Amino acid sequence: MDYRSWPSEIGNCIQEIKIRSNNRAERVRIGFSNRYGIEPIVLTSSVLKIGSKEYPLTRGGNSGISLMPGEECSSDAVNVPVSPGDIITVRVLMKARTLLTGGTVTYSRRELEISHVDAASGELIDPGAVFSMVKDNNRMCFAFAVSGIDFYTSKQERCIIAFGDSLTQQGFWVDHLKQRLREHGQTGIAVLNRGIGGNRILKGTSPLADPYERHGRSGVERFEQDCFGDGTPNLILVFHGINDLITRHAEPTDDSAGVNEIISGLIKYAKIAHAHGSNIWIGTLTPLKHSVFYNEALEQERLILNRWIRSQRDYDKVLEFEQAVCDPAEMSALQKDCDSGDGLHFSDEGGRAVAACIDLNCLSTLVLADEQGRK
């Protein structure tokens, strides 16, 4: 759930979310959230669809699902088999006009599709016309109320968590990794996105700040809860730190964290993961020469951090994200095809290149061995 959705008002709306499964399940339930809301959300009806079959979603046996501000819940479980590659569709109807201040945001459309339809006319709604976030940035894709899908399985499934900032949250490399795993027959491995746009390792944003300009709790504050709050993943992929450098140079203060402090935060991630028995890999920081944030001092510190990442022994493996997307003719910049256009964030091709540098054989062997070890 996004922490800084700018207020948007909409009603009489049918929202449909489609997501492709990488896992098997005997039954599923849908998560709903109004965590950052300031008005109740009332869903008149909610439907789960897998294949050609539809199943009504209920809460406590009741068809209507209401969420007070700050409330989260799950639907009753639906007994329906799910296989890798299946498209899971969740369709909800919100009749009452409602002010929305929270939701789910992605940029990648590879594994998740979201559409909105006017319930009266049956016509598609232009998201840029009703959702302030999408109007401000038409690369975004926004959904309200629906927050997740829980899979019930008869065997222990495997799980990978991607942890970081907007370069992860936007979904491009995470979705390409999910797709690669499925295409290579390595199903039964869930890939969960724990990226937050603007997030830093060392500093969060005060809850007293403008709620639509916050960037979440700091990484060191949220790492353990976000990665281990729902169980122990087999593997964590960390790709974090560029925002610490950006704010250090764009908004310098007396207590701005230096490279050594950033390194200490990254080491803390590794110690927490190993204490829980999880493997943890780290990606090198990618270049940003053509972004508005770039300066030479920042670039030198990015290179220092990458040298440390490549030489350290706290993590179990280093992922060469920088080499996957940098321009060979200008190493401090993204390749043109990998650049979303702002010099910092990935395009879909950039996400593909990052995911392609992750060794699937090594990954699969590791999570299988970890699973055997836990048994």
Domain contains 139: yes
What pLDDT does residue 207 have? 65
CATH for 294: 3.40.50.1110
Residues 318-353: tens digit of each pLDDT: 999 999 999 999 999 999 999 999 999 999 999 999
Across residues 88-111, what is the average pLDDT? 95
Residue 237 tokens read as: 């992929």
Q: What angle do CA 260, 264, 267 make, to 5 degrees?
A: 135
d(CA 235, CA 360): 13
Position 218 scores a pLDDT of 94
Inside any domain, residue 3: no
Place of tokens 């997501």: 19
Domain extent at residue 97: 8-151
Question: Do you know the residue count of the chain?
Answer: 375
The pLDDT of residue 3 is 67
Question: How far, in Å, CA of 18 to CA of 87, rounded?
Answer: 6
Asked which of 123, 151, 179 is the last residue of a domain, the reply is 151
Please, what sign has the CA dihedral across residues 345, 349, 353, 355?
A: positive
User: pTM of the entire structure?
Assistant: 0.93
State which of 151, 185, 206 marks the end of a domain. Answer: 151
pLDDT tens digits for range 125-173 = 999 999 988 998 899 999 999 999 999 988 777 899 999 999 999 999 9
pLDDT tier at 371, thresholds 50, 70, 90: low
Same structural domain, 271 and 349: yes
Main-chain phi, psi angles of 251, to 5 degrees: -135, 65
Q: Which of 151, 173, 188 is a domain's end point?
A: 151
Residue 85 CA from chain centroid, whole number:
20
Same structural domain for residues 146 and 160?
Answer: no
363 within domain boundaries: yes
pLDDT digits over 270-301, tens only?
999 999 999 999 999 999 999 999 999 999 99
Map 301-322 to HEC letters.
Answer: HHHHHHHHHHHCCCCCEEECHH
| pLDDT at residue 154, rounded to an integer | 85
Looking at every residue in the chain, the average pLDDT score rounds to: 93
pLDDT at 375 over 60: no
At residue 77, the pLDDT reads 97
Residue 332 or residue 186, greater confidence: 332
The residues, any chain, with a CB within 8 Å of residue 293's CB and separated by 6 or more, are 246, 249, 250, 344
Residue 216 CB neighbours (<10 A): 21
Structure tokens at 355: 């995911």
Q: How confident is the model at residue 254 (pLDDT cuts 50, 70, 90)?
A: low
CA–CA separation, 266 and 249 (whole Å) = 20
